[in-house]
Amino acid sequence: MAGRLKVSKFRNALVKPAKRDGWYADIATGAMSSDADHIKASAKHVAFTWDSLGTVAVLPLSKVGKVDRNTCLVRAHSDHITDFAFGPFNDNLLATGSGDASVALWNIPDAGLTESLSTPVVRLAGAAGRIESLTWHPTASGLLASAAGNTVKLWDVEKAAVTIDLASQHPETVQSLSWKADGTVFATSSKDRILRVVDPRSASAVAGVEAHAGTKTIRVAWAGHLDRILTTGFSKSRERQYCVWDARNLAKPLHLQVLDSSTGVLIPMYDEDTNVVVLAGKGDSTLRYLEVSENAPYVTDPQANVNDPPQIGATLVPRRALDVMECEVWRVLKLTKDAVVPVTFEVTRKSKREFQADLFPDTKGTVAGMTAEQWVAGENIAPPTVSLDPSKNSSIKQPTPLYASSSSASSTPASSSPASSSPAPVSLIKPSASASASSSSSSPVVSSAPSPTPAAPYVPSEKATKAQAIVRSSKYRHVQGTLLHKKNNIESISQLSPVTPIESNMFDANKSFMCMPFSGPGGQLAVFPTMVARRVGPSVPTLQNHAAPLDFAFDPFNDARLAVGCEDSNIRIWTIPAGGLTENLTEPTLILKGHENKVTLVKFHPTIRDLLVTVGADFTIRYWDLSVGGAPLKTISDHAEQILTLEFNNDGQTFATLCKDQLLRLFDTRSGSLIRQATAHHGTRSGRVAFLGTSGFLITTGFAKTSARQIKLFRESDLSEITEVDLDVAPAVLVPIYDEDTTLLYVWGRGDSSISTFEFVHDEAPFLHSATPFKSAELQHGLAFLPKATCNVAEVEVARAVKLSKNTVEYISFKIPRTRPEFFQDDLFPESRVRDTPSITLEEWLAGKNPSVKYVSLKPANMTPLSQAPKEQPKESKFVKYNPALQDSPDQRKEKLLHSMVDSLGDKQTGAMYQDTVQGVEESEWDNY
């Protein structure tokens, strides 16, 4: 009975979920391809799966706040990441395992990633299949256990070699593995529902027993140095339960507890310093903790705490990173669908001025007890412990705050190359002093690791502010998109066609007209004047194409000329009357025939008059001379599958295509020859391509294997991939529109309600920097940007777009806030490319002359450039600055106050007092008393 009456000092621990400003917010979690934790933490970093194939995000533990969607990532594998783990003696060492049957090791910089990593320090290949579990040895340095299929392998990561291969102990897939704290044996659970205790050095299973009767995943956790094993699983009736086992006798469980009937796997997280295990169920909002002991009843009753949002993964933060002076005994990081939520457990004490030694015993430090070779040879040496008392360990009392100052950045030499794909080489492990001599001769990686940076305590509000302080400052960062007044809107559009081919935007506009498809027979296209308001009636004059239009485009040099690619394999050229359509037009100006299948794309050359390029479903690209018509000038047949998009570069001398075979191709326009090609996106759905002005770069939009929408940046000279941005998961194709004057990239999708904006910086990673997006209540069906000549530069309007929604056409103005808008902002409005005048004729181009690009200034005649504006005079402050020389001393203030009081009393005593006006008693009358 004594055991049952024992009261745990952790029984009434205060559970405190972080406020939203203390979350790692706005993250993009990846697909959950296994029943692993999907989030891990060291004393410096937190890592979690990212919404991109084979990718994990790693953030400094102290960098709470909103996470940039362009954050640097570890692009580790070609398949889904199934498990990963930080090294127990090196907070910067991360091991990742994947479905590609490999293990990769990464060195994370102390201050976090400054660029994405794609080349690991070591890649361990040769696993028996998909990696199911990765677990570091608790006492030996550089010894990693991986479970793949029915095989467990122990790797010496310094040698990148298998030291022990256990292929016969498990008849089915190993699901979970956990070491005893002294590193002598480990426990496993497998698909055959058997809990096994394995001695790896003798290559034998010591014992085994059926842990749970249910068929779902069983998780196992060894209770530190105790001879107790905790398993979580399901009963035959699908009830969630946990069991406590005696590792010396697995005949039956010491304790079995049924929790509930939820379906999520229970994640056990064991803290060997306090012998407490925290249980987190996937899909739950509940965290339970209980204390394990050697004596009956072996576990305390589970203490439950419910806090939203529900978790899809969870992990414990090492005790070296806890705020011990606030009595923070554990910290759980909950991975949710869009955030990592820290949950702290604090034990209430009367005073927090003194270190609570009973709550914080000495813990493992960053020095291993022995090398992998020593352990394999049969030695068992415990790692030295460190005190968590701040008075004995300065790293606990005065942590180094990340991103707090320039000191952390100064540790990186200024001469280091920003293009490096991996951090400076360091040792994979940090062996103990006694073992360094024996390991130095056999270590092929490099020398010893640098001293670890002290772990930072969790301070949400302070760290959130510091994280925001490092956001890149840019004049375009706060570009504001606003809807113009509806006086120019086109409203009550009821006949808009809902059918849109994947290759086409099916909406185009210039400064004179806009075009959109209408439903109904005959392949109807409606044309309306731009910036002219109207309410569309039931009867609207249209262009009758006699076949379904699949794409159309206005001639950049003739606002009234429209080219339409149709389903009947013909291209129809229309001339719009001045002022727009007043009646149905049934006969085009010109019909071009030559494609053997439907025409899916039409593009005008950006610098040559009368040159039209079309793409057909016959997998060909054809050039046309619109001045004479007739047969095509050239036919390109280098594509074996459907061409999804085609775009010209700045001067039109090259063009790029994306094909259904996932290849990005670059062609020479004049010869039509293929220059080079590269793989763009792994998804099979449609995409787009856009050249980024004269920078020598181009971007593609498409889909990842996980259906996430992506933007990829390529160098034009060799089509090498520079960076990748994952946006979201949505079905619509992303359409990029690049403004080379402002270097702003606008990205929109049909059916979206927002337009994402990025600033392209060719020499500063991550190259595509997020700016303020435009959001509206109406979903967009089409979007077209008008020429720069339509922008009101006097109001610092850098772009103007036409937005087509379900039944309305609206206009969007993009402006940059400026303090002196009365001057021409010549830093925002450089000379702009002339787009409405051709540089050469088609005859000149065919004769061998190359087109050139002309530029024109956008400065109005009545405005002065900001660079020539007089210097702005400083504004007079509303408040007088404090000057000690002009202030009275304390004695002078007392004297003034005293004089003021005396003057006030003197004023009151000048008149008769109240008691003088009241009739009293004569003096003689008092003699009678």
Residue-wise pLDDT for 584-609, tens only, equals 999 999 999 999 999 999 999 999 99
pLDDT value at residue 906: 63
Contact 86, 425 (CB under 8 A): no
| pLDDT over 90, % of the chain | 47
Residues of the chain with pLDDT > 70, as a percent, come to 86
Q: Which residue would you say has higher pLDDT here, 529 or 3? A: 529
> What's residue 99's pLDDT?
87
User: Per-residue pLDDT for 2 more than 50?
Assistant: no
pLDDT at 552 over 90: yes
For residue 180, pLDDT beyond 90: yes
The answer to whether the CB of 343 falls within 8 A of the CB of 331 is: yes
Is the pLDDT higher at 614 or at 486? Answer: 614
Mean pLDDT, to the nearest integer, of 3-16?
Answer: 71
Q: Which amino acid is at 722?
A: I
What are residue 865's phi and psi, to 5 degrees?
Answer: -60, 145
Average pLDDT, the chain: 84
Identify the pLDDT of residue 6. Answer: 55
pLDDT in tens, 638-692: 888 899 999 999 889 999 999 988 899 999 999 999 999 998 988 878 899 999 9
Count the Cβ atoms, other than its own, within 10 Å of residue 406.
Answer: 8
Q: 927: pLDDT confidence band, cut at 50, 70 and 90? A: low
Summarised one tens digit per residue, pLDDT across range 860-876 is 999 988 888 888 777 77
Task: Pick the more confident residue, 343 or 12.
Answer: 343
Q: What is the pLDDT of residue 296?
A: 84
pLDDT of 460 reads 37
**What mean pLDDT comes out for the span 579-588?**
91
Quote the pLDDT of residue 909.
53
Question: Model pTM?
Answer: 0.50
Judged against a pLDDT cut of 60, whether residue 1 lies above it is answered with no
Weakest mean pLDDT among 65-74, 136-145, 455-464, 674-683 = 455-464
User: CB under 8 Å to 571, separation ≥6 — which residues?
Assistant: 563, 564, 565, 591, 592, 593, 595, 599, 602, 612, 614, 624
- Strand partners for 268: 279
pLDDT at 928 over 70: no
Find the helix or strand (DSSP H, E) in which 374 lies: helix 372-376
pLDDT at 428: 54
Mean pLDDT throughout 185-204?
Answer: 90
Instruction: Using the structure block, give the residue that is written with the tokens 């849109």.
Output: 500
Q: Report all structural domains of the chain as residue ranges with CATH numbers, in order of start.
A: 23-350 (2.130.10.10)
Give the β-pairing of 65-66 and 24-25: parallel
pLDDT of residue 163: 92
Least confident of 37-41, 208-212, 704-708: 704-708
DSSP letter, residue 917? G
Residue 170 pLDDT > 90, yes or no? no
Per-residue pLDDT at 113 exceeds 70: yes
Task: Choose the weakest-confidence range: 10-19, 527-536, 653-662, 745-754.
Answer: 10-19
